[in-house]
Amino acid sequence: MRIYNWNQLSRDEQRILLKRPASSSSAELQSGTREILADVHERGDQALIEMTARFDKVELQSLRVPPPKIQAALENLEPITREALEMARDNIERFHRQQLPRRIEIPTLSGIRCFREARPIERVGFYIPGGTAPLPSTVLMLGVPSHIAENPLRILCSPPQADGEINKIVLATAALCGIDQVYRVGGAQAIAAMAFGTDSIPKVDKIFGPGNAWVTEAKQQVASHPEGAAIDMPAGPSEVLVIADDEANPIFVAADLLSQAEHGPDSQVILITTSEGLAKQCLGALDRLLQKLPRREIAAQALMNSRCFVVPDIQTAVEISDTYAPEHLILQIYEPEVWARRLKNAGSVFLGAYSPESAGDYATGTNHVLPTYGHARAWSGLSLESFLKHITFQHLSREGLAAIGPAVEQLARLEGLEAHRLAVSVRLRPEEQ
């Protein structure tokens, strides 16, 4: 992780150094994913079983995990683990329950009432990766708000382990969230199954959850398929940007950077500081702490794509951060809440020395499914509204239509849509029928 003096860089150098690692969506990945989706669409369960044998080296007799096995996983949890999961679940529920939308109703003119109401998305599907570590926290981040939203159908897919079963912590967390439809299938084929449906796995309307490059590509493709499903958001590798002043604790900063670097070799971490001395202290702390990590090889690879910038002031740091639009932003600076009000682009922000990003990943109550790869310029992280849709309504009396009718008819004439005009005129002037 190199240190750069921001003001000594040209504009082109600044732009290049802020670039994220190249996306892994190659032509080969796109075509391979397309083939998987087509196979699952055509052959359903049989394709899933064959792909699980080929990709996961597991021979399955059935895809669904029996509900009693899901409940047993929860009952067999050690108490300290269950307590931690329940604390996280309760905080997530408290925060997300406050996001319940209110009904909006307004008379726009006399005789015209417009209103807007929320409805739960009927069928939602969650993808929970297998990989090198289980992700019960992601089950909570999807399962808790969907429970509050009262989505009628909730299913979960996750790849089987070598023994043919899904990780017991993932199963237990599903039970904790009231999810009893869990399926042993992973990768792009799981996304296809949820998007198109099979004999065993019901089709859903929207798919949530992170995954590798194949899962990400599959989500993008099914979102544009006429028989597919909506998705939560565009996704990329995890990332964090830390802004630190000369009073920041270099050990805290280094630990925050490593907490994202250990996610994967394509993760990116960036430090922006007003102090070159602090920058050097942080790099030294990174080297020391890195040696303590079981995933140090992964974190070390991520640090190869990472940067440290020394800037003249916090205002410059905030401007760089807004340009980068990080998934996670940590402000270890004096008066962080004052500076937070000036921010424009970030997925989730952590204020002050005692607000590590990992707290939000697990248990503060905010949602950790966030836009990456610069998408925070236009996308929000998951919220309760991600599991709802809104419908608008209008009710017009004859007097209301009379008040608005001439304007509607004129606008219809301007657009050359005679039937639109006619739908008004036959109501107001029956003699023209």
Token couple for 141? 């981040």
Question: What is the percent of the chain with per-residue pLDDT over 90, rounded to a whole number?
Answer: 90
Q: What confidence score (pLDDT) does residue 313 get?
A: 97
Mean pLDDT of the residues in the chain: 95
Query: Looking at the chain, how many residues does it have?
Result: 433
121-178 pLDDT, tens digit each: 999 999 999 866 788 999 999 999 999 999 999 999 999 999 999 999 999 999 999 9
Q: What confidence score (pLDDT) does residue 421 get?
A: 96
Instruction: Give the C-alpha separation, 138 to 127, whole Å.
Output: 9
Find, among 283, 285, 376, 282, the residue nearest to 328 by Cα: 376
Q: What pTM was computed for the model?
A: 0.93
* From 239, 262, 327, 357, the catalytic residue: 327
373-403 pLDDT, tens digit each: 999 999 999 999 999 999 999 999 999 999 9
Helices (H), 56-186: 67-75, 79-97, 136-149, 168-176
Q: What confidence score (pLDDT) does residue 403 get?
A: 97
328 noted as active-site residue: yes
* From 41, 96, 328, 368, the catalytic residue: 328
Instruction: Give the C-alpha separation, 27 to 107, whole Å.
Output: 53
Instruction: Give the C-alpha separation, 25 to 371, whole Å.
Output: 17
The DSSP symbol for 225 reads S
Instruction: Give the C-alpha separation, 8 to 16, whole Å.
Output: 14
418 noted as active-site residue: no
86-98 pLDDT, tens digit each: 999 999 999 999 9
**Phi and psi at residue 188, to the nearest 5°:** -60, -30
